[in-house]
Amino acid sequence: MTKHLLLGQTLGFSGNPLLGDLADSVDFDSAGGVLVEDDRIIATGNGAILRADHPDADITDYGDALISAGFVDAHMHYPQTGIIASWGKQLIDWLNTYTFPEEARFSDRAYADEVAGRTLDLALAHGTTTLTSFCTIHPQSVDAFFEAAAARNMAVIAGKTCMDRNAPDNLRDTAQTAYDDSKALLEKWHGVGRANYAITPRFSPTSTPDQLAALGALWAEYPDCLMQTHLSEQLPEIAWVKELFPQARDYLDTYEMFGLLGKRGLYGHAVHLQDREVARLAEVGAAVVHCPTSNTFIGSGLFDLMGLAKASLTVGLATDTGGGSSFSMLRTMAAAYEIGQLRGQALHPAQLMWLATEGSAAALKMSGQIGHLGKGAVADMTVIDLQSTPAIEQRSAHTHDIWDAVFPTIMMGDDRAIKDVWIAGKPQRV
C-alpha cells in the first residue's frame, strides 16, 4: 500500500484543554509529520524521524503551515445555505420569514441536489471535513445530502426534520409519517459508507406529543443512532414551550418524557439551561452544541461554555448555518472567544481548536475516528496557512509561540487560510 507523509507544523490533542493542563493536553511539533496509509493515519511525530523510517512514502511538504485534524461542524442546516445572513429577525420570526419558505423548495429533488453540493463544497473550502445537518421534511432532501457527501467521501450525520404542528401546511408531516420516513431513511443510510443517521425532531414546539413519542420509540429501536434537536435557544421560545407543555418540569423534560433524552442525544444551543437540565444532560452523557455566530446574530444569548464543561457536559462547536452567519469554523471559533470574553471566560487558542475538532467529534460519539490527528483516525485533515492575508502576516512578525501564531488566524482568518484539505487520505487541493 502507498504511504503518504505530510510535513509541517502539527497540532493534535491527547486530552481536553477545557478541563486539563494545556501542557498535558496538546501534542504540537514545529517540525512534525503525519503518515497516512490508504484512508487512515498510521503515525504522527517528528517529521524527520518519520521520513527516515519510511523512505518509500510519498512526501507533501507544507513548510510552516499547520496540519490539524479536519474541522467538525456539529450542528447546521444545509437547507438554509441560501438564506444565510438574512437581516433582522429573532428565532420564531426567522423561521417564519426565511426558513420555512426556503425549506419548502426542497420538495424539488434537483434543487436539493444543487444546495447539498454547494454546502459541502463551501464547507470543504473552509476546512470543514464533517457536517452534522438537519434536512427538511422531504425524504429526498436527506437522499440528496447523503449522496452528495458520498460523492466526496465525507463523513456526515443528517436526518429528516420532523414537524407536525406550528409550521406551514406544506412543511408538516404526521406522527406516523415522521416515524415511517425516518425509519426508512435510517435503514437506507445509517452506517453506509461514511454516513450516519440522526433522528431529527426540529424542536418541541413543532412536534405534537404524539410525534415526539413516535420518534422516541424509533430511537429506542435504533439506539446506536444519534438524535439531534434544539434546546433552550431563546427566552421567548422557552416561554412558548412552557405554554405548549404545561406539565413539563422544563424544556428538557419535553424530550425526556417522550424518550428523547439519552447518551447519543445532541442538543443544539442550550443557552438558557436550568440547573436540573444541566444535571440530567450530564448524568445521561448527552452532548450540547455551542453555536456562537448564530447566538449573536439572532440575539439568543451568551452560552456558558466553561460552566457546562466543568459540569461534565460534552460540548461541541457548530456554525448553525444559516442562523449562524458564517460557513467558517475559524470565524465560529472567533465568535466563541468573543462570547467567552463577555462571560469573563478568556478561551485559549488550544481550547478553541479542540472544540472545533476533538470536542465536536466527542459530541458526535466519534472520538478517535474524526477530528483527531492520531493513529487510527480517518485521515481527514486541514492544512492552515498562518500568514494567509496581509493583516495576519504582519501580526505573525510579532509572535512568540504557536498560540501567538494561531490566534490571529482564528480571529481574522477565512477560507484563504485553508491551504489544503484531506478527505480519507486524499488531498482535495482547495
Residues pairing with 378 in the sheet: 40
Check residue 42 and give its pLDDT: 98
Q: Are residues 167 and 249 in the same domain?
A: yes
Domain count, the chain: 2
Selection from 339, 302, 297, 335 nearest residue 318 by Cα: 335
CATH of the domain at 375: 2.30.40.10
Selection from 325, 296, 414, 370 nearest residue 12 by Cα: 370
Check residue 89 and give its pLDDT: 81
Q: Are residues 108 and 213 in the same domain?
A: yes
Q: Are residues 409 and 322 in the same domain?
A: no
Check residue 299 and give its pLDDT: 93
Q: Are residues 269 and 404 in the same domain?
A: no
pTM of the complete model: 0.97
Q: Parallel, antiparallel, or unpaired for β 418-423 and 381-384? A: antiparallel
CA 291 to each of CA 36, 268, 312, 360: distance values in angstroms, whole numbers, following the listed order: 32, 7, 19, 12
Q: Are residues 353 and 341 in the same domain?
A: yes
Question: What does the pLDDT profile of the chain (430 residues) look like in tens digits?
Answer: 689 999 999 999 999 999 988 889 999 999 999 999 999 999 999 999 999 999 999 999 999 999 999 999 999 999 999 999 998 788 888 888 999 999 999 999 999 999 999 999 999 999 999 999 999 999 999 999 999 999 999 999 999 999 999 999 999 999 999 999 999 999 999 999 999 999 999 999 999 999 999 999 999 999 999 999 999 999 999 999 999 999 999 999 999 999 999 999 999 999 999 999 999 999 999 999 999 999 999 999 999 999 999 999 999 999 999 999 999 999 999 999 999 999 999 999 999 999 999 999 999 999 999 999 999 999 999 999 999 999 999 998 888 899 999 999 999 999 999 999 999 999 998 6
Check residue 397 and give its pLDDT: 85
Q: Are residues 218 and 252 in the same domain?
A: yes
Check residue 264 and give its pLDDT: 98
Q: Which domain holds residue 277?
A: 71-363
Q: Are residues 294 and 331 in the same domain?
A: yes
Check residue 396 and give its pLDDT: 85
Q: Are residues 173 and 294 in the same domain?
A: yes
Sheet holding 58-69: strands in order across?
40-46, 26-37, 3-13, 58-69, 381-384, 418-423, 426-427
Cα 412 from Cα 414, distance rounded (Å): 7
Check residue 430 and give its pLDDT: 62
CATH of the domain at 113: 3.20.20.140
Q: Are residues 172 and 193 in the same domain?
A: yes
Choose one of 309, 335, 363: the last residue of a domain: 363
